[in-house]
Amino acid sequence: MNILSLGESLTLKKSIMKKIATLLFLFVVTVSTAQEVKPTYEAAGELVKATYYYKDGSIKEQGFFKDKKLTGEWVSYNKQGGKTMIAYYNNGNKVGKWYAMNDAIIQEISYQNNAIVSVKKIKEEAALALN
């Protein structure tokens, strides 16, 4: 049976505590950097411009609020920065023509009174004009 001296026992305990502290530090750093980036809000006259982000910090969605309701143009982006949706709101209601883009296919969705009126596909060449 091997008996450690008091000095060796304390050194071993310190070594274990350092390893635990290092692991705990790495865990905290990993968790804090993995959190989603918080949205930003900035005044733009009577409106508030909102920007939402992906975890990597790139813009996910951007648009405006007025009196806490969606208003004006809202644009959604993929992680590469390409537009995936252009939408319009008035006082929180969906209005006008929206454009949904997916791999060079564009759909034009028309809204009236917060309801879909029509949906049509647009040619591939139009995707470049919208992006």
Predicted local confidence at residue 113, as pLDDT: 87
The domain locations on the chain are 1-35, 40-130
Structure tokens at 97: 């023509």
For the record, the structure tokens of 28 come out as 């905290």
Cα radius of gyration rounded to whole Å, the chain: 26
Looking at residue 22, its pLDDT comes to: 59
Check residue 78 and give its pLDDT. Answer: 94
How many whole angstroms separate alpha carbon 94 and alpha carbon 67? 16
**How far from the centroid of its chain's Cα atoms is residue 113's Cα?**
29
Q: Percent helix, strand and coil across the chain, each rounded to 5?
A: 25, 45, 25
Regarding pTM above 0.75, the answer is no
> CA–CA separation, 75 vs 61, rounded Å?
6
pLDDT attached to residue 6: 61
Residues paired with 119 in a beta bridge = 109
Tens of pLDDT, residue by residue, the chain (131 residues): 455 566 666 666 666 666 665 555 555 555 444 556 899 999 999 999 999 999 999 999 999 999 999 999 999 999 999 999 999 999 999 999 999 998 778 999 999 989 999 999 886 655 455 55
Q: Which CATH architecture has domain 40-130?
A: Single Sheet (2.20)
